[in-house]
Amino acid sequence: MAKNLVIVESPAKAKTIEKFLGKDYVVRSSFGHIRDLPKKGLNIDKDNNFAPTYEVSADKKKVVAELKKLAAGADVWLASDEDREGEAIAWHLTQALKLDPKKTKRIVFHEITKPAIEEAIKNPRTVDINLVDAQQARRILDRLVGYELSPVLWKKVRAGLSAGRVQSVSVRLIVEREREIREFTAVSSFKVTAIFNVDGEELKAELDTKFKSIEEAQSFLQSCIDATFTVSAVDKKPGFRSPSAPFTTSSLQQEAARRLGYGVKQTMILAQKLYENGHITYMRTDSTILSTIAVDAAKNYITSNFGENYSKLQQYKTKNSSAQEAHEAIRPTNFNALEAGDDGQQERLYKLIWQRTLASQMAQAKTDKTEIKISASPKFKNLFLAKGEILTFDGFLKVYGGGKDDTLLPNVSNGQQLERQQILATETFSRAGARYSEASLVKKLEELGIGRPSTYAPTISTIQAREYVTKSDLEGDEREIRELVLEKSTVEQRSSTVITGADKNKLIPTHLAEVVTDFLVKYFGSVLDYDFTAKVEAGFDLVAEGKQEWPKMIGDFYKNFHPLVVESEGASRKETSQARLLGEDPKSKRPMYARFGRYGAMLQIGEVEDEVKPVFAPMPAGTAIESVTFEQALEMFKLPRTVGLTDDGQEMKANIGRFGPYVVVGKTFVSIKPLDPMTITLVEAKALYAAKLEKDANKYIAEFASGIKIVNGPYGPFVTDGKKNAKIDKETDPKGITEAVAKEMLAAAPAKGKGRRFTKRKAKK
């Protein structure tokens, strides 16, 4: 029996740490949280200071039993992560293993290296109950919100929806940005650029104003025909570019997206692996501070490899003054390790972290900036400006590039006359704010003080999984651009076509997101208020600092929140359906609506309260409730459309269902994606129907009188009687199985369950 039991969160971390400790230590993993609020029921006593009821998760009972055996007679060291979540895991371990939290040793470290682990062992503490309470407060408050708010959405909008304090605010941000873009009206203006000849070299310059109309631009270019252009000033001054701070969780997510194209969740998974294998410090942090050891190591590397003039030691101020997560930025544990990671993706992320950290301790890059001002005679009030920049000392850019290319300007002197080659006036359009990407949403949440480093990735994953948001590439739209060109002595007009609005990996809200957001803003405005959500985070910080009792914080929140739940009971389904009156059906004279239904946007003729039941139809492809026209909607009520007859005389109809367009013959449904049910031809429909029949015919290898079947399944052939399934191994020819053999296989097979149940395990840190 080992003298010491060290309990960490993940198996990977356990293996790494065990290498650093001697034979007197056994390192085991708790596999994340071992206790939590039960999934079913509220399990929070609102009448008793919101006391929670925890239970050991079913999939962790075996883990707890093993840890109990190992803990018996051993000194226990709780080595979960150093943030609030990790502190809560340590406390739950004391409760499950019957340990005294005031005596059990608690160690923390922000990097998994031998010196860090040995130092932690030398300086144990006990569980910090303030940090535990802060995590409990977050868990309980979010359970109260989710447990009371989600059922309201089930009743008023659609079954199966979820809501959450950070989740719903994130969706609101995306919805509001989409509406801003939708309501934005682009305004055109004309940008004027010129090319001058300077002893055979080109000097490009831009006018210091834009013109609102093509007539103004035309007039200006006409005035340039006989103008003489002269250098009126040459301004030269030194410039600097400064390195960025070392990575926090959010800045790493943003930069990994910008430079590597990684999604937020992907970045965190890769960083987790790098941390667990001892390559980087803890990856959930909002601190930009580097330890003295790290600063000294960076200096040694920089001076040894680049020279003293490249070194500039500095600490960066953490934006969030109440940061309560890990207390150091994300950095390499060894600056001499130029590469690390088990695969290419990990290696690229490690390199990014290595470069950013090292650059933060390097000197500024120095530049020479030049601005040439060009005036005209006869004089007009506007100047042409030519700007150039030359890098004179690369500084931090030596390791963390991405800086601007040098812009070299030809040598000119004050008063020098320039030869005009071309002046071009190009139409440009104002643009709405950009849609959020995962990275820019993280940046916005951080700016607003909503959530914490550990919440960003799971929040963004949740809103996509819940179908509030889709991540899409935008193809953009064609737009005609007008141009005016002055060459020699005439101004000519021409046009060209460009694609505008194209973009990649943008978060687009679904109509469901808009319906839910409008409902929540109306009835739960305070919960979705950005300042309020940030204040809740500040409240958690006060609990973590021991300045506020968590039951009081939760009580203050709940006494204002619960009345909103009661008030929302008065909302009607019709209100949440966002019905938009399109007009009157010419046949029935009943109103026609575009509205939100159980499975999304839909069309409806008539009222639910009428004696005659309403008639429903799907939305036309590419339309939304706010954009569909009366004429488009009227066409959809012609569905189902009779396409024709099959070869054996059965009627074939085309329609749109919950899962897209289809044709149906009898009870056989055939998907026709991406064809349109309004235009699909009989030939096309017959071909798809024939393919479906052939596929179905090949589904059953054999059918016996007893009802037993041998089926071609998606994962291989199997035997079934409808109640039990028996897999057929690869060595057995399914065509040769007799009914008697099939019965024997079914008798030996385990009973068919109701489907596998997967328990979503919290990501290991």
* Alpha carbon distance 257, 441 (integer Å): 12
Q: Is the distance from CB of 416 to CB of 241 less than 8 angstroms?
A: no
Q: Which residues contact 645 (CB under 8 A, 6 or more apart)?
A: 651, 652
Structure tokens at 629: 């026209």
Q: How many CA atoms lie within 13 A of 412 on its CB side?
A: 34
Pairing of strands 4-8, 25-29: parallel
Among 413, 404, 600, 435, CA closest to 513: 600
3-state secondary structure 179-192: HHHHHCCCCEEEEE
* Alpha carbon distance 263, 254 (integer Å): 9
- DSSP for 698-753, please give it: TTEEEE-TTS-EEEEETTEEEEE-SS-EEEPPTTS-GGG--HHHHHHHHHHSPPP-
Structure tokens at 196: 């001058």
Among 327, 405, 304, 314, CA closest to 359: 314
Residues involved in catalysis: 282
Q: Which residues pair with 494 in a beta bridge?
A: 483
Structure tokens at 492: 């000519």
Cis peptide bond N-terminal to 750, omega within 30? no
458 three-class SS: helix
Tell me which H or E stretch contains 382: none
* Alpha carbon distance 592, 605 (integer Å): 4
* Alpha carbon distance 717, 733 (integer Å): 9
Using CB atoms within 10 Å of the CB of residue 271, give its burial: 0 to 12 exposed, 13 to 18 middle, 19+ buried: buried
Work out the angle between the directed axes of helices 264-276 and 453-465 (0-180°, nearest 10).
140
Q: Which residues contact 390 (CB under 8 A, 6 or more apart)?
A: 367, 368, 370, 406, 407, 408
Q: Is the distance from CB of 520 to CB of 169 less than 8 angstroms?
A: no
* Alpha carbon distance 29, 14 (integer Å): 6
Per-residue b or e along 333-343, where b marks 16 or more CB atoms closer than 10 Å to that residue's CB: bbbeeeebbee
Q: What's the start-to-end Cα distance of the chain, in Å?
A: 28
**Amino acid of residue 479:** R
* Alpha carbon distance 367, 681 (integer Å): 66
Tallying the residues shown for the chain, one arrives at 765
Q: Which residues contact 151 (CB under 8 A, 6 or more apart)?
A: none
SS3 content of the chain, % helix, strand, coil (to 5): 35, 25, 35
Give the CA dihedral 537, 539, 541, 546, nearest 10 degrees: -160
Q: Is the distance from CB of 206 to CB of 191 less than 8 angstroms?
A: yes
- DSSP for 468-530, please give it: SEEEEEE--EEEEEEEEEEETTEEEEEEEEEEES-EEEEEEE-HHHHHHHHHHHHHSHHHH-H
Other Cβ atoms less than 10 A from the Cβ of 130: the count is: 18
76 three-class SS: strand
Structure tokens at 402: 């991405």
Q: Which residue has the tokens 């651009």?
A: 481
695 three-class SS: helix
* Alpha carbon distance 672, 686 (integer Å): 11
Cα-based angle 124, 66, 84 (whole degrees, multiple of 5)? 40
